[in-house]
Amino acid sequence: MDSLKIICPNGHLGFAPLKPASFHIGVDAGPDYIAADSGSDDIGPTPLGNDTSCSPRDWQEHDLEVMLLASRKLGVPMIIGSAGDTGTNSRVDLFVGMIRAIAARHRLGPFRLGWFYSELDREVVRAKIRGGSPILGLDGRPELTEAQLDGTARIVAMAGVHPFRRLLEQGCDVIIGGRSSDSAIFAAAALHHGFPEAQAYYLGKVLECASFCAEPYGGKETVMGEITATHVDVTAMHPGQRCTVASVAGHAMYERSSPFSEYVLGGMLDMTNCHYSQLTERTARITGMRFEPARQLRVKLEGAGKVGERFVGIAGIRDPYTIANIDRVIEWAREQTRERFGPDGWSLHYSVYGRNGVMGDLDPMRHRPGHELCVVVQGIAPTREMAEEVAMTGTRQMFYARLPDVKGTAGGAAFPLDEVLPASPAFRWTLNHTMAVDDPMELFPVHTDRVG
């Protein structure tokens, strides 16, 4: 092939539904593949630790249905990575089940469905540690210890291009991937057809956020990338959007290679010498990308561990003196909670909104003082009952804060809700590390089946 075209309709499938109008314009352009990423660690550790999705099932199924029907109509492969927001085994199974149900509902002709898993047993990681292969931290984290591993509820490994390519080699028409590098989803298709690594991985980098590389800003719109042996072209499908030198280069700067790219991609994509040119009004061309193979194959691991049960309270504050002393108010509430529960075994987290005022109506660069604060209080404890009381104490005691220079009552300076609200359990990231592997496929078992 001299060139290969891929359309991407959504930078995070299911997070908000894709926009069908620009998608069908992309379909009419005759792509060779339809692909999308469906996950991110931007959503925080809770969905991974709790093994849930942060997106409604209906939104996820909507996007899968629109893409599958177009894929089967055109007879081109469809690829999804990081199924269900986190790429855990249950999320892969969820998406595989949706594909089967959509195919049955629309009586789609036979096609080959492939999928792979990314979830990792803790004992596999423990064996690496005990065998003298350190689990190296990213973003300043130290090496992983067994104690940190013991506090981890669930781990996923981040796949590169390898399981996607294996399933394409096995003739799969639809691929559902576990946790994956965003760009690998697209690069795998290009590499499968023999295009160079540098162009393939750049194609993935520019497509994985969909219309975020276009201007003016508009989320969930379709873009198309076309790869050749020397360059990548990217085109906005929405009639009101354009992929320009500024928008695409700006996106590349935002998505520039990070330290773990070497480990999840099998090498490092270098975009520092890329050249951007305006090919047409809505298409930008990129050349000059480079790729350096890794000296050692390392796979990124993401892990989450439970902190405790969680409740949330909300308080509004309008009294100017209380606003000026909000830190003292919060410390008073913390002290009352310590008196009730002791110094350990619980936590309170306060988020204060409006502290820095609001922007002026006429001059967006000028701020005027805010007249009201909203304080969101999170109470975390081992049990739901205790978490509820911690959140309630930490919220209501703001109403009773004893401030200096206040004679009598402050007149209801803080107005808490009458109740605190149940929330999902609180989790924290326990793994943001890399692990050495001998075989890039050893953590990602693949499966295939005939549908229809």
Q: Is the pLDDT of residue 85 over 90?
A: yes
What are the tens digits of pLDDT across the range 246-268? 999 998 887 654 444 434 457 88
pLDDT at 259: 41
For residues 177 and 159, give the distance between their C-alpha atoms in angstroms, rounded to a whole number: 9
Backbone angles phi, psi at 265, to 5 degrees: -110, -10
Report CA 390 to chain centroid distance, whole Å. 30
185 burial via Cβ count (<10 Å: 0-12, 13-18, 19+): buried
For residues 232 and 248, give the distance between their C-alpha atoms in angstroms, rounded to a whole number: 11
C-alpha distances in Å from residue 343, one per residue of 333, 346, 377, 393, 402:
13, 8, 18, 14, 21
pLDDT at 409: 55
Structural domains of the chain, ranges and CATH numbers in brackets: 4-118+158-297+437-451 (no CATH), 306-430 (3.30.70.1130)
- Average pLDDT on 112-140 reads 96
Q: What is the 3-state secondary structure (H, E, C) of the chain?
A: CCCEEEEECCCCCCCCCCCHHHHHHHHHCCCCEEEEEEECCCCCCHHHHHCCCCCCHHHHHHHHHHHHHHHHHHCCCEEEEEEEECCCHHHHHHHHHHHHHHHHHCCCCCEEEEEECCECCHHHHHHHHHCCCCCEECCCCCCCCHHHHHCCCEEEECECCHHHHHHHHCCCCEEECCCECCCHHHHHHHHHCCCCHHHHHHHHHHHCCHHHHCECCCCCCCEEEEECCCCEEEEECCCCCECCHHHHHHHHHHCCCCCCHHHHHCEEEECCCCEEEEEECCEEEEECCEEEECCCCEEEEEEEEEEEEEEEEEEEECCHHHHHCHHHHHHHHHHHHHHHHCCCCCEEEEEEECCCCEECCCCCCCEECCCCEEEEEEEEECCHHHHHHHHHHHHHCCCCCCCCCCCCCCCCCEEECCCCEEEEEEEEEEEEEEEECCCCCCCCCEEEEEEC
**Which of 74-78, 268-272, 295-299 holds the top average pLDDT?**
74-78
Residue holding tokens 């085109």? 235
pLDDT at 255: 61
360: pLDDT confidence band, cut at 50, 70 and 90?
very low
For residues 400 and 397, give the distance between their C-alpha atoms in angstroms, rounded to a whole number: 5
Q: Is the pLDDT of residue 155 over 60?
A: yes
pLDDT at 252: 83
pLDDT at 318: 86
222: pLDDT confidence band, cut at 50, 70 and 90?
very high
pLDDT at 68: 98
28 burial via Cβ count (<10 Å: 0-12, 13-18, 19+): exposed
C-alpha distances in Å from residue 397, one per residue of 403, 404, 411:
12, 16, 14
The closest alpha carbon to 7, from 63, 73, 78, belongs to 78
Q: Can the peptide bond before residue 216 be classed as cis, meaning omega within 30 degrees of 0?
A: yes
83 burial via Cβ count (<10 Å: 0-12, 13-18, 19+): buried
Q: Is the pLDDT of residue 374 over 70?
A: yes
Q: How do strand 4-8 and strand 33-39 relate by DSSP bridges?
A: parallel
pLDDT at 256: 57
What are the tens digits of pLDDT across the range 174-216? 999 999 999 999 999 999 999 999 999 999 999 999 999 999 9
Q: Which two tokens stand for residue 125?
A: 């990681």
What are the tens digits of pLDDT across the range 424-438? 999 999 999 999 999
The closest alpha carbon to 95, from 64, 120, 52, belongs to 64
